[in-house]
Amino acid sequence: MTPGQLLQEPPAPVPDPLKSQKPSGQLASPNSFWKSPKDPVVASTEEAAPDGPPAWDVTSTNCSANTNLTHQTWFQGLEPHFRQFLTYRHCRYFPILLNHPEKCAGDVYLLVVVKSIITQHDRREAIRQTWGRERAAAGGGRGAVRTLFLLGTASKQEERAHYQQLLAYEDRLYGDILQWDFLDSFFNLTLKEIHFLKWLDIYCPRVPFIFKGDDDVFVNPTNLLEFLADRRPRENLLVGDVLQHARPIRRKENKYYIPPVLYPKASYPPYAGGGGFLMAGRLARRLRHACDTLELYPIDDVFLGMCLEVLGVQPVAHEGFKTFGISRNRNSRMNKEPCFFRSMLVVHKLLPAELLAMWGLVHGNLTCARRLQVL
């Protein structure tokens, strides 16, 4: 199957299809789709020994549709994009197209990884000029700060070859792009999550801390490093803007709509908003194995919360992470006040021009009445 097939309607049932990858989602009961088909993971206080392959071990895109689902009435009643998601949900890993294992060479203290899509070069460029700028040392005897962008392929097939050429050129200039051979789409953000965790386990198993965020956020690296100064890499740390008791959205017009057949529970486990969060490297390695025990879920930050639940780890809420803006009132002056941004760790959402302007204000000759104590 080519990546373009993930955009197509699920195929009609065919007798005894040849499968190059065995589906794991052959469940007759719709209410069991959120459950793990495998044995549960017992939370452990010990770090697992490195057991990953020495290099990315997926070299071809071999994935067959799970046609067992297409016969079932509840499946036929789903919206097309949910049918598509469930039909190929067992396809977990894809080949890597652009790779930079050298990013973890030497003493790396903080790895900054940014979710992006192939068409948003302007966002990546703004980040490289601001909070994504690499550092040879994090200060205080700590190692380097390195940056990577996480991408799939262009969602429109007619544009794919053109954008791929542009991306290859961009990567030759900067050498900071990880790309896998799956389509960049909202539901495939979960694929991006598990691909990065696997990549980290293979190529960067000793990095103490990871910041993971979107390409439309403001980040204050000085505050991130100050927060991490008294943290230990071996602790079960995942800190961000944590949502507790969030309910699945059942309104079909909403981007985050989830049908009850896909998730029948009344609420999600605690999770950090995907706009930006910090985690310890040891926990990231444990998450990789925990996530492999769960069926993929179409909302990536909720899925990571499910993986944390498997491990018995609670994400930590921090006032300095504002993934819904400094004020949830979009018209509030606080959302454009540089003195607030100077005190925060992460703020969503800023487009490239806004990011560059705010970065200039925060790092210019700024006089504030007082510094907010959020660290």
Closest CA to 82 of 261, 292, 300: 261
Domain holding 242, by residue range, is: 96-319
Query: Which residues are CB-contacts of 344 (< 8 A; sequence separation ≥ 6)?
Result: 218, 220, 223, 320, 321, 322, 326, 372, 374
The reported pLDDT for the residue numbered 18 is 29
285 inside domain? yes
Q: How far apart are CA 296 and CA 34, in angstroms?
A: 8
Taking residues 100-111, what's their average pLDDT?
97
183 inside domain? yes
The reported pLDDT for the residue numbered 43 is 42
Q: How far apart are CA 42 and CA 62, in angstroms?
A: 31
374 Rama sector, left if φ>0, alpha if ψ -120 to 50, beta otherwise: alpha
Q: How far apart are CA 260 and CA 361, in angstroms?
A: 46
Q: Which amino acid is at 324?
A: F
76 inside domain? no
Average confidence score pLDDT of the chain: 87
2 inside domain? no
More confident residue, 18 or 207: 207
The reported pLDDT for the residue numbered 369 is 75
272 inside domain? yes
Q: How far apart are CA 27 and CA 20, in angstroms?
A: 19
Q: 116 vs 89, 111, 124, 204, CA distance in Å?
A: 22, 16, 8, 20
For residue range 14-42, what is the model confidence (pLDDT) as tens digits? Answer: 333 323 333 333 333 444 333 333 444 44
Per DSSP, the three-state class of 302 is helix
**This prediction's pTM:** 0.86
Judge whether 335 and 327 are in contact, CB under 8 Å: yes
CATH number at residue 160: 3.90.550.50
pLDDT-derived band of residue 371, with 50, 70 and 90 as boundaries?
low
For the chain, what is the total number of helices (H) and then of strands (E)?
Answer: 10, 11
Taking residues 337-353, what's their average pLDDT?
94
What tokens were used for 207? 């990095």
Q: How far apart are CA 350 and CA 330, in angstroms?
A: 12
79 inside domain? no
What tokens were used for 314? 């609670």
Residue 223 has pLDDT above 80, yes or no: yes
How are beta strands 217-219 and 346-348 bridged, if at all? antiparallel
Closest CA to 178 of 208, 207, 204: 204
360 inside domain? no
For residue range 121-178, what is the model confidence (pLDDT) as tens digits? Answer: 999 999 999 999 999 999 999 999 999 999 999 988 888 999 999 999 999 999 999 9
Q: How far apart are CA 160 and CA 162, in angstroms?
A: 6
338 inside domain? no
Number of separate domains in the chain: 1
